[in-house]
């Protein structure tokens, strides 16, 4: 029934905006009534079926009200067959509430409270049997995929996926997520969220090749050299599809810098040589891409001009070799091009050119 039905024992508490509100909100009568009753139930700390039903009404009126979501979860625990020492929520109630959150989420895909509610409910589900937990997780990942089909860069959805996979830490899920991020990159190479998810799945997963079984400062496993070579090739392929796309270039630099820094910290001459070879190989491939791009650009009318993302990435890799004058001189020439082709960041490119000039003078 409506708000207040069978609630003769409750004295509604109206919202107190003070004696002279500066800008009173014109709530609908239904909104005022629902939240007045909710305040009364909150004050009485009544975690009953009618209190739970009232939260449904209130959340339909305002899905972003954190207090109502929190009270709803407390009602769910109180109405379930747990104990005071081990609070729980009945599976059937969890499933129904996930559906409720889904229904509200249709028009609120970026509502933080909705995503947190799903997480809080699933924390109870993830305490069950291992086979059942995996099934629950896969079902939730399918739900997230549905959201990402509508909005492929929804931060909440990607973050929720990461939480599920990290919580279960299941090799099957880690492996599947690498393939999932690949499918999203294929459908949109400019989806930086998908590139980030690939990095996450490769570095945080427990299926990573452990050739370099050392942890970096963030606690994530360093990619093996073999895996780094694969990922560098993967990134270059993505950059080839669209050289103006910043995502694969940043991914490439992340992979290469990780190998270089790890080798430098370890101080092992063989590791340094291997990481140096990988870097030089990628530099050579990018030079080839630049040459091909320049030739194609000159043949077009009007000319497309240099590719800023490509030039920027090449500079970032060349300057790693601070002791090699030829590389530094090449980087300086490229920065001169960038000053002309990227006027928005001209001062930044000039600053970097000045830094390289100082290295060349040493």
Catalytic residue positions?
110
Whole-angstrom distance, CA of residue 69 vs CA of residue 77: 13
124 half-sphere exposure, CB direction, 13 A CA radius: 23
- For the chain, the distance separating the N- and C-terminal CA atoms, rounded to the nearest angstrom, is 82
* Cα angle for residues 35, 41, 44 (degrees, 5° grid): 145
Which tokens belong to 201?
Answer: 């799945």
Helices then strands, counting H and E runs in the chain, come out as 15, 0
CB 110 within 8 A of CB 126: no
3-state secondary structure of 82: coil
Whole-angstrom distance, CA of residue 100 vs CA of residue 285: 52
215 — phi, psi (to 5°)?
A: -100, 145
CA-closest candidate to residue 257, choices 223, 288, 233? 223
Which tokens belong to 285?
Answer: 């491939």
Whole-angstrom distance, CA of residue 176 vs CA of residue 165: 10
* Cα angle for residues 188, 137, 64 (degrees, 5° grid): 75
How far is the CA of 150 from the CAs of 147, 161, 164, 183, 203, in angstroms?
5, 16, 20, 15, 27
CB 93 within 8 A of CB 117: no
221 — phi, psi (to 5°)?
A: -65, 140
The contacts of residue 192 (CB under 8 Å, 6+ apart) are 153, 246, 247
Residue with tokens 């000159």: 298
CB 220 within 8 A of CB 256: no
DSSP assignment letter at 245: -
């Amino acid at each position: 029934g409506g708000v207040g039905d069978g609630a003769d024992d409750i004295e509604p508490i109206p919202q107190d905006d003070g004696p002279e509100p500066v800008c009173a909100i014109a709530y609908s009568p239904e909104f005022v009534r629902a939240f007045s009753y909710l305040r009364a139930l909150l004050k009485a700390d009544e975690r009953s079926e009618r209190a739970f039903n009232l939260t449904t009404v209130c959340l339909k009126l305002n899905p972003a009200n954190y207090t109502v979501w929190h009270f709803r979860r407390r009602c769910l625990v109180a109405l379930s067959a747990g104990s005071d020492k081990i609070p729980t929520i009945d599976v059937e109630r969890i499933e129904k509430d996930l559906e409720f959150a889904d229904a509200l989420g249709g028009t609120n895909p970026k509502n933080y409270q909705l995503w947190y509610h799903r997480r809080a409910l699933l924390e109870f589900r993830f305490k069950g049997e291992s086979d059942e937990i995996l099934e629950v997780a896969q079902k939730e990942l399918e739900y997230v995929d549905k959201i990402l089909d509508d909005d492929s860069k929804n931060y909440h959805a990607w973050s929720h996926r990461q939480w599920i996979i990290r919580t279960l830490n299941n090799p099957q899920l880690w492996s599947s997520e690498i393939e999932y991020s690949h499918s999203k990159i294929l459908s949109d190479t400019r989806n930086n969220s998908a590139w980030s998810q690939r990095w996450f799945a490769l570095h945080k997963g427990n299926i990573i090749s452990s050739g370099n079984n050392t942890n970096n400062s963030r606690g994530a496993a360093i990619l093996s050299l073999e895996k780094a070579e694969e990922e560098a090739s993967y990134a270059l392929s993505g950059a080839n599809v669209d050289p103006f796309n910043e995502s694969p270039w940043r991914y490439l630099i992340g992979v290469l810098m990780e190998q270089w820094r790890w080798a430098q910290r370890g101080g092992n001459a063989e590791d340094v040589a291997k990481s140096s070879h990988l870097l030089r190989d990628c530099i050579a491939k990018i030079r080839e891409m630049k040459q091909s791009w320049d030739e194609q650009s000159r043949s077009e009318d009007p000319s497309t001009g240099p590719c800023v993302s490509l030039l920027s990435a090449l500079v970032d890799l060349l300057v790693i070799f601070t002791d090699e004058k030829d590389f530094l001189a090449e980087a300086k020439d490229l920065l001169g091009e960038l000053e002309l082709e990227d006027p928005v960041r001209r001062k930044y490119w000039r600053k970097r050119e000045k830094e390289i000039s100082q290295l060349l003078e040493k």
